[in-house]
């Protein structure tokens, strides 16, 4: 079976990018806090915040890619995503984190911590999915 290529890093992770929260407030990407995601999801009629715990981090199919296995939500559903090593995830209570924080900082000037097994990331699911 073929797997999809890793997702390229989108422009909004660049330091200084303007992010609009659900209540209309504008913040820079580097200034976002855990509460911003929680409060925005509370307002949203379609999306809800879920916790996704990093279970495994393996090498991806290309040199700059990693496959991250998450355990998602109360159901602990196993979900794998393949991303570039510099792709940042938002860790609850910690902030932006990637598998290669040096590269994230180099490419996007976004300060990052190292993403590790056990970290709990902010993720989204659809409301009323179950």
List contacts with other proteins (CB under 8 A). 10-13, 17-22, 26, 29, 32, 36-37, 40, 44, 47, 50, 52, 70, 72-73, 75, 77-79, 81, 89-90, 121-126, 129-130
Closest approach, Cβ 57 to other proteins, in A, equals: 15
Which lies closer to other proteins via its Cβ, residue 11 or residue 118?
Answer: 11
77, 71 in Cβ contact below 8 A? yes
Query: Minimum CB separation from other proteins for residue 63, in Å?
Result: 22
Of 8 and 130, which has the nearer Cβ to other proteins?
130
Q: Least distance to other proteins from the beta carbon of 21, Å?
A: 5
Q: How is residue 73 written in tokens? A: 């939500």
Work out the number of other CB atoms within 10 angstroms of the CB of residue 11. 8
| Residue 38: CA count within 13 A, CB half-sphere | 9
In the chain, the DSSP E strands lie at: 18-20, 26-28, 47-59, 65-72, 77-84, 89-91, 95-98, 113-114, 120-126
Rounded distance between C-alpha atoms, residue 101 and residue 110, angstroms: 9
Q: Between 67 and 90, name the residue whose CB sits nearer to other proteins.
A: 90
Minimum Å distance from CB 40 to other proteins? 5
């Amino acid at each position: 079976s073929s797997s999809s290529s890793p997702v390229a890093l989108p422009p909004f992770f660049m330091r200084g990018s303007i992010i609009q929260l659900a209540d209309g407030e504008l913040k820079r990407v580097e200034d976002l806090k855990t509460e911003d995601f929680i409060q925005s999801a509370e307002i949203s009629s379609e999306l809800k915040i879920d916790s996704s715990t990093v279970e495994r981090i393996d090498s991806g199919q290309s040199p700059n890619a990693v496959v991250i296995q998450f355990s998602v939500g109360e159901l602990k559903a196993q979900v794998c995503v393949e991303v570039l090593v510099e792709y940042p995830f938002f860790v609850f209570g910690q902030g932006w984190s990637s598998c290669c924080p040096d590269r994230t900082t180099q490419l996007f000037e976004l300060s990052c911590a190292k993403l590790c097994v056990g970290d709990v990331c902010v993720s989204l699911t659809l409301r009323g999915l179950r």
